[in-house]
């Protein structure tokens, strides 16, 4: 269970207590993504690392993006697990808030792998506030530029390289369905991501490109102690049916399903492993 703790943003897995489970010892692949290449933003830790490990064990090369020098050790650890699975891993430090940096990341990944089949938009920012009056212009701008502008930029840059059968996966949230009084701006961006997913799926259907969203409930990642009050960290996830937050390893299979041929009939969907009853 989480213990009261805080980190300066962005948080890192190496300082997380206890460490998250990304499937390092548990995930078993079966070739569902053999020969494919994927980009994962926010791939250094948390859900992004779990997805990178799962994709690699399913046969995909993986490019992981991350924001800061502080996260480089986490990124190297993710790369180690990807390479241990026999796949290539490209690490790229960039800021999804800037379209030019998104384009540079995509172009580097395509040059390295010679193709692009899967885009996972996963980078996220949140900052808990007691009141909407406490949300500064700087926070509001940062939350929207990371959580929805960044998703749109990454799709714009990746789309010219995606062919029929490709998949775009967006990370949404239970907050888009239920709201969260301490994460008002974050909840709003996640609602935008869900709607963006549905609209983009309709737009790209004729190209044979599927677009889906995974909307987790509480997940134990470095984002939590880096953006929430200590007492909320200790209680994180206790309001779910299971009485705990999910581990990233429990969320990653949803991404594998939607990216693989197993999910070939799915597009415009929001798959919600929230640990609770949800409505859309």
* pLDDT of res. 5: 43
- For a pLDDT cut of 70, what percent of the chain falls above it? 87
Structural tokens at position 243: 């009485």
Residue 26: inside a domain, yes or no?
no
Q: Is the pLDDT of residue 267 over 60?
A: yes
- What confidence tier does 169 reach under pLDDT thresholds 50, 70, 90? very high
Q: Helix 248-259 crosses helix 46-57 at what angle (to 10 degrees)?
A: 50
Helices (H), the chain: 46-57, 72-84, 99-113, 137-144, 150-158, 175-178, 184-204, 223-227, 230-234, 248-259
Structure tokens that stand for 142 in this block: 């940062």
Structural domain contains residue 25 = no
pLDDT of 8 strictly over 60: no
In degrees and rounded to multiples of 5, residue 187 shows phi and psi of: -60, -40
Burial of residue 266, with CB atoms counted within 10 A of its CB: 0-12 exposed, 13-18 middle, 19 or more buried? middle
Tell me if 8 is assigned to some domain: no
Whether 125 is a known active-site residue: answer: no
What token pair was written down for 240?
Answer: 């779910």
* Segments forming the whole domain that contains residue 65: 33-271
Contact 196, 203 (CB under 8 A): no
pLDDT of residue 246: 85
In a domain, 218, yes or no: yes
15: DSSP letter: G
> Is 1 among the domain residues?
no
Would residue 99 count as lying in a domain? yes
Whole-prediction pTM: 0.91
CA-to-CA distance for 239 and 57, rounded, in angstroms? Answer: 33
Catalytic pick among 27, 125, 151, 186: 186
Query: Residue 211 domain-assigned?
Result: yes
First to last CA, the chain: 29
Side-chain half-sphere CA neighbours of 280 within 13 A: 14
In whole angstroms, what is the distance from residue 280 CA to residue 208 CA? 25
The enclosing domain of 164 has a CATH number of 3.40.50.720
Contact predicate 166/209, CB 8 Å: yes
Task: Report pLDDT digits (tens) over 15-54.
Answer: 666 777 798 889 999 999 999 999 999 999 999 999 999 9
User: Is residue 161's pLDDT more than 90?
Assistant: yes
Provide the pLDDT confidence category of residue 188 given band limits of 50, 70 and 90: very high
User: Is 185 within a domain?
Assistant: yes
Structural domains counted in the chain: 1
Sheet holding 61-66, edge to edge: 89-93, 61-66, 37-41, 118-121, 167-171, 210-214, 270-271
**Per-residue pLDDT at 240 exceeds 70:** yes
């Amino acid at each position: 269970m989480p213990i009261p703790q805080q980190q300066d943003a962005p948080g890192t897995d190496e300082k997380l207590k206890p460490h998250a489970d990304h499937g390092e010892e548990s995930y078993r692949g079966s070739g569902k993504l053999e020969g494919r290449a994927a980009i994962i933003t926010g791939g250094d830790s948390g859900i992004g690392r779990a997805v990178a490990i799962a994709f690699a064990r399913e046969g995909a090369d993986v490019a992981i993006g991350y924001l800061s020098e502080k996260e480089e050790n986490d990124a190297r650890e993710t790369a180690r697990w990807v390479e241990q699975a026999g796949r290539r891993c490209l690490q790229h430090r960039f800021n999804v808030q800037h379209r030019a940096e998104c384009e540079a990341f995509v172009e580097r990944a395509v040059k390295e792998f010679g193709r692009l089949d899967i885009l996972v938009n996963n980078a996220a920012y949140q900052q808990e506030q007691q009141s909407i009056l406490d949300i500064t212009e700087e926070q509001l701008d940062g939350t929207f530029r990371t959580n929805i502008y960044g998703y749109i930029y990454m799709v714009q840059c990746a789309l010219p390289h995606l062919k029929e059968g490709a998949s775009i996966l967006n990370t949404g949230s239970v907050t888009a369905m239920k709201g969260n009084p301490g994460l008002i701006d974050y909840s709003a961006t996640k609602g935008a991501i869900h709607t963006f997913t549905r609209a983009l799926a309709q737009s790209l259907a004729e190209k044979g490109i599927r677009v889906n969203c995974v909307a987790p409930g509480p997940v134990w990642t470095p984002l939590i102690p880096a953006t929430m009050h200590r007492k909320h960290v200790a209680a994180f996830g206790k309001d779910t049916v299971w009485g705990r937050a999910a581990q990233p390893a429990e969320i990653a299979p949803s991404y594998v399903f939607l990216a693989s041929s197993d999910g070939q009939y799915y597009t415009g969907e929001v798959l919600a492993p929230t640990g609770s009853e949800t409505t859309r």
